[in-house]
Amino acid sequence: MKSPWLLHTVLTILLVITAAITIASRMWMLDAHRELEKQAKKRIQLLDQEQALRVEWVVRTDLNTIERRAKKDLGMRPMRPDQWLEAQE
């Protein structure tokens, strides 16, 4: 019959190895979770930036807004018909 201390030693070593693997996998899982959270935050920030850029693009390409700003801020007026003829020559 084998000695019980050998069996206990082997079982203890297996238990320690199993515990180490469990702890290591838990740490890897937590690291992966942190990375996913970080990437999710970046994604939300990029979506916010994209939305802001889309709004700015619509505002900047709105011809009524451009014309209103040209008249109000820059003092521009439509060309007179005789200016059209001069510009074409």
Tens digits of per-residue pLDDT, 19-52?
Answer: 999 999 999 999 999 999 999 999 999 999 999 8
What is the distance between the alpha carbons of residues 54 and 15, in angstroms, rounded to a whole number?
A: 58
Binned at pLDDT 50, 70 and 90, residue 73 comes out as confident
Q: What is the pLDDT of the chain when averaged over all its residues?
A: 86
Q: 53 in a domain, yes or no?
A: yes
Residue range(s) defining the domain that contains residue 8:
1-33
Q: Are residues 1 and 29 located together in one domain of the fold?
A: yes
Q: 7 in a domain, yes or no?
A: yes
Angle at 55 between CA 54 and CA 59, to 5 degrees: 115
User: Which residues lie below 8 Å from residue 77, measured CB to CB, with a gap of 6+?
Assistant: 71
Is the CB of residue 5 less than 8 Å from the CB of residue 12? no
pTM of the model: 0.51
